[in-house]
Each structure stands twice: as structure tokens, then as C-alpha cells.
Amino acid sequence: MPASSPALAEILDALGPEQVLVDPTSTEALSHDHAEWAPVGVPLAVVRARSTADVAAVVRACHRHGVPVVARGAGTGLSGGANATDGCVVVALAGMDAILEVNPLERLAVVQPGVVNDHLRAYVAEQGLWYPPDPASSPWSTIGGNVATNAGGLCCVKYGVTRDYVLALEMVTGTGEVVRLGRRTAKGVAGYDLAGLVVGSEGTLGIVTEVTVRLRPLPPPAITVAGHFSSIVDAGAAVREVAAAGITPAALELVDRTCLEAVDAWKHMGLAVDADVVLLARVDEPGELGAALADRVVACFTAGGATWADRSTDAQESEALFAARRLAYPALERLGPVLTEDVCVPKEHVPEMLARIEKLAERHDVTIANIAHAGDGNLHPLLITPPGDEAARTRAQAAFEEILDAAIELGGTVTGEHGVGVLKRGGLERELSPAVLAMHRAVKDALDPAGILNPGKVVGA
């Protein structure tokens, strides 16, 4: 795209050339996230924003000239939500990475969108505080990206997702106006919950430039319970047993043998697990209460069909297993392109959903590895294809759509935390009624009247 573009000329005049990338060799890496086979356009430019004023200047220029704007954080998304469209301006927010305030009395922190999740967690831990949302990408993903997709993670089964921790936002609207949504108080019901609306909107309603998040006290050290299973359906039955017993663990994760072997081959962690599927639970109630609850989880695993289940007495081994859970996706990427699902179903239907995934893998002749935030029914089937095998790609894409349909049929949703992006727009339209889709589009039109913010994402507006 030529530098003579009126919008680009205004942006260069406002920010200077050192913040604006136009060379395609420089912009390509910043034009997409990690979603496999999601369409990617060629941007007009990538702007490395340093402040809210920078973002507002970019949006105002693009609004005047009808140029699309796509915001991105670290690019760890898996649905194509941060992918460029042809001729857009990508606003890269990773450089806005300051922790502006931590208030121990009010238990809140104010951060810029480029702050990495784990960096925030480590920073507030020094003051005895905790930011619970912890997606598997937490060592790399940013708070702004977590807000965009309403990210969850390993702890969300007990402690909730990003929306539960966002108190307030600063945001640039589709016309370039800077607004503040939400409040710092513990309670407040004045007006609509617009901050909650923006969380999970994937940059289609505004570009978030500051986030005020709720914090909690650091929990006590957790007890890990591990269970080995000979089938993924048995593991799903154990998840249902835990829910039926009224137990809410701090984490309840599923990892299959394919994932563990891929991680071990990559990181040489010495994972000696004699099981086709492993369930990992964490219990963080203090003292004897935690020990008793851990024993109940062991009993639930056994009742669900575990070939072995027990409390872990080896802290190093426990950490290695949870680390393997976090490393599963990048480890599998080394084997070939990975198309990632994140369907979520009611906990009572987890065994049935896992059984359907197995059958779809067999019917479409596709390798599907499985990891899951099993405790809340959020499943991550990972469809792996050999590099360059177009026939396998076609089969995987067909299985992907049928997994979405199966989740909807079981009363679930097509995305629990990764977002709709471009990969799941069809699934969203099958999940929601025409009337509800019309409500989505009406909200989009109200906050982004020119339709320039991340066009083509979510409902396609």
C-alpha cells in the first residue's frame, strides 16, 4: 500500500515514522495470531502504540477515511481474532506494558493492555495478592488480549474468568473518542454494564487502553491429585463424579497420552505416565479441610474408572505434570499444523462430548489430541495434520465443524475462551438465534458506526 494514503499520512504526521511500520517484511509477523488456516489480509501499516493518545489518533484518522483498524497484543490467540484485513491499520499494543497502580487496600491493579499475564501475577504476588485468570498462554499473552477474548485458564473452574476480575476500562471507541467504563468500587449498578460488554468483544466495539482488575489474597499451597485412565470417556466420567459430589477444585485438567509424549519429546521432562489419559486436580483449601477434600477427589476419580488415583507426594512431579499441560499446544505444533477447538459443554455431558470427539476422529481419519479445562466442561480437542497434506487439512476442517455442532447439540457453546474470531463465525451463527444475532449487530453499530473496528470478526460486522 502506498505511503500516499490519506489515513497513513495523518498517522505518520501524528506519531512519526519510528512508530509506523509499512514494509511488508516487517508487518507480516504482526498481522496474524496463532490460528491455523485462518484468513489473513495485508495491512496498510502496523502502528506500535505507546499511549492512549496514539491509539485515539490512529482511530480518528482511520474513521475519517474509512480504513479498518485491528488491535493486537502478543498474538497468542487461536481463532484469528487479531488477523489483519486487507488495507487495515494494525494497532500493536504490546509496548503499552506498564503496571500503573497496585492498591492492596482495595485489592485492585491498574495496568496497560500490553502487560503480560504472568508478569502481573508475579508483581502482585510480592504484596501477597493474586490475579487468578491464568490461560495456558499466561507466560506470553497480554491482559489486553485476555480482556478481548474473556480468557479463562486452569483456575477458572473455581475462581472465574477475566470478566469476573475487570472492574473498569479505558477504551477508544470506533470514532476515536476516549471513554472510561465501569468503576473502582466493589459494588455499582449505575447504568448498563458496558465494561462487561466490552470484555470478550474481540476488539470489535473498541480498543482497550487501560484495565482496572480485581485482585484476591494469595491462596495457600495446593494439594495435587492425579488420576490415570485407560480411556478418555472414563476420564470424562470422573469429571462428572467430581461435579456430582459438589466439589469445586482449584483446577481440574485433562491431558491425554499424545500430548504428554509430545511435551516429553520436546522438553525431555521425564514424564513417565502409564496411562492413556491423566486427570490433574488441585485443591487449595487450608489444612485438614484441603486434605479431606483431596481424598474425596481421589474417591471420585476411582468411581469414574481410574486405574490409579492418589494425592501426589512429589511436588516436583506435580509441577511437571501441570507444566506439561501448559506446554501441550506448542509441543503438538512441532508435529504439524494444529487446528484448535475450545468448545464448552455442561459438565454432565463431558463424557458424551469426549466420546463424540473420538468417533469424529475415527470417521474423518484425523489425529485428535485432547487437553481440557475438564472441571468446567471446556474441552480443547487439537486436530493435528501432517505438513502439506491438503486432504488431511480438508478432513480436519470438516471434523472441526462437526465438533462445534456436537457441542451445540449437547447444550454447549462453540467457544469457551478463545473467542469467535474468523474460525467460528459459522458456528456462532448456528448457536445463536437470528434475533440474538441482530442484537449483536445493533450493539456493534452503536459503538462503531463506521464499522472500522476489526471488521469481519465475531458476527461479521
- Whole-number Å distance between alpha carbons of 36 and 102: 37
Looking at the structure, give the CATH architecture of the domain made up of residues 336-448. 2-Layer Sandwich (3.30)
Compute CA 307 distance to the chain's CA centroid, rounded to the nearest angstrom: 32
C-alpha cell at 376: 468446567
102-109 LR contacts (CB < 8 Å, sep 24+): 102/127, 102/129, 102/215, 104/128, 104/129, 106/184, 107/214, 107/215, 107/216, 107/217, 108/167, 108/184, 108/212, 108/213, 108/214, 108/215, 109/212, 109/213, 109/215
| Torsional sign, CA 18, 29, 40, 456 | negative
Choose the CATH number for 6-92 among 3.30.2320.20, 3.30.43.10, 1.10.1670.10, 3.40.50.2300.
3.30.43.10
Residue 2 has what pLDDT? 46
Residue 166 and residue 195 in contact, taking contact as beta carbons nearer than 8 Å: yes
Which residues on neighbouring strands pair with residue 142, listed in sequence order?
A: 116
The kind and range of the H/E element at 212 are strand 207-214
In this chain, the answer to whether the domains covering 6-92 and 220-328 adopt an identical fold is: no
The kind and range of the H/E element at 54 are helix 52-65
Going by C-alpha positions, the residue among 157, 306, 295, 118 that lies closest to residue 223 is 295
Integer distance in angstroms from the first to the last C-alpha of the chain? 24
Going by C-alpha positions, the residue among 305, 127, 303 that lies closest to residue 215 is 127
Residue 168 has what pLDDT? 98
Per domain, the residue ranges of the chain are 6-92, 99-217, 220-328, 336-448
- Whole-number Å distance between alpha carbons of 65 and 176: 12
Which residues on neighbouring strands pair with residue 380, listed in sequence order?
A: 371
C-alpha cell at 342: 475450545
The one-letter amino acid at 191: G
Q: Which CATH class is domain 220-328?
A: alpha beta
Choose the CATH number for 99-217 among 1.10.10.410, 3.30.465.10, 3.40.190.100, 2.60.40.420.
3.30.465.10
- Whole-number Å distance between alpha carbons of 187 and 194: 15
Which H, E and C letters describe 133-145, residue by residue? CECCCCCCCEHHH
pLDDT by residue for the chain (461 residues), tens only, comes to 445 699 999 999 999 999 999 999 999 999 999 999 999 999 999 999 999 999 999 999 999 999 999 999 999 999 999 999 999 999 999 999 999 999 999 999 999 999 999 999 999 999 999 999 999 999 999 999 999 999 999 999 999 999 999 999 999 999 999 999 999 998 999 999 999 999 999 999 999 999 999 999 999 989 999 999 999 999 999 999 999 999 999 999 999 999 989 998 898 887 767 789 999 999 999 999 999 999 999 999 999 999 999 998 777 877 888 888 889 999 999 999 999 999 999 999 999 999 999 999 999 999 999 999 999 999 999 999 999 999 999 999 999 999 999 999 999 999 999 999 999 999 999 999 999 999 999 999 999 999 999 999 998 65
